Amino acid sequence: MAQCVQSVQELIPDSFVPCVAALCSDEAERLTRLNHLSFAELLKPFSRLTSEVHMRDPNNQLHIIKNLKIAVSNIITQPPQPGAIRKLLNDVVSGSQPAEGLVANVITAGDYDLNISATTPWFESYRETFLQSMPASDHEFLNHYLACMLVASSSEAEPVEQFSKLSQEQHRIQHNSDYSYPKWFIPNTLKYYVLLHDVSAGDEQRAESIYEEMKQKYGTQGCYLLKINSRYHCRMSYVLTSIIININFVESGQF
């Protein structure tokens, strides 16, 4: 039997997590690529929140959740291809085989002695990859997006106008019949407006001015000024914490 590092109680909240989409302008994506990462990849180290999160269910009951993890990914309008998923899983298993020389369990079956590995170190890697690559289905909401982060750069000519374009693009992807993928949790997806500002190259005063304009147009709770330094590692946990705290599972009419 596989000797898993995680217990079942740890596996479930770590694997089935709220999903948040990221839709970036070309300039914002270019800015994050200076660190050889996409915006979603830049957030990944900060996806587990250290503070308590308060969520409300459809009955408006408050629930306190600790160590919540969320999954942020760039919007992909095509479902994963089965062939590509199989290859990915095969590669994961091939790269996680037990080292040579490990003691095996010997099981005798009739005239045969079977050498069975005492552990299966590939299993957890396979399971994690399988759950991450599993496409969203209509009959469940495990991989449906709860919210969308619209990301523009402070270095753009008209960042506020860019947010409007990104919002229209998200609405088109969600409601246009040409797109059957990705899947969304509610018709009116929660939107969060993130202004990406590079402190090593951008104008601080201009970024603050744009941020104030954003708050006047979209409200203070849904707007964030995210300062990064393209020359150094950046910190993103505050943005993720703020976004997930504002996601409440209430009736759609109350959004």
pLDDT in tens, 226-238: 988 877 654 555 5
**Cα pseudo-dihedral 112, 115, 120, 122, rounded to 10:** -90
If you search the block for the tokens 């002695």, which residue do you land on?
A: 113
Q: Which residue has the higher pLDDT, 80 or 73?
A: 73
- What is the mean pLDDT of the segment spanning 182-191? 89
Output the pLDDT for position 5. Answer: 64
Output the pLDDT for position 251. Answer: 36
Residue spans of the domains in the chain: they are: 8-78+144-254, 80-134
Statement: 8-78+144-254 belongs to CATH 2.60.120: no
- What is the mean pLDDT of the segment spanning 79-105? 74
Q: Is the pLDDT of residue 202 over 90?
A: no
Q: Is the pLDDT of residue 185 over 60?
A: yes
Which of 24-33, 37-46, 72-81, 115-124 comes out lowest in average pLDDT?
115-124
**CB proximity list for 153: less than 8 A, separation 6 or greater:** 25, 27, 28, 30, 31, 159, 195, 196, 197, 198
Nearest to 156 by CA among 200, 210, 113: 210
Q: Is 7 exposed, middle or buried (0-12, 13-18, 19+ CB in 10 A)?
A: exposed
Which of 37-46, 79-88, 159-168, 246-255 comes out lowest in average pLDDT?
246-255
Give the pLDDT band of residue 46 (cuts 50, 70, 90).
Answer: confident
Output the pLDDT for position 98. Answer: 61
Give the pLDDT band of residue 58 (cuts 50, 70, 90).
Answer: confident
Output the pLDDT for position 169. Answer: 94
Give the tokens for residue 72: 């942020």
Distance of CA 255 to the CA centre of its chain: 22
- What is the mean pLDDT of the segment spanning 16-37? 89
Average pLDDT of the chain, as a whole number? 80
- What is the mean pLDDT of the segment spanning 146-173? 93
Q: Is the pLDDT of residue 105 over 80?
A: no
Q: Is the pLDDT of residue 245 over 70?
A: no
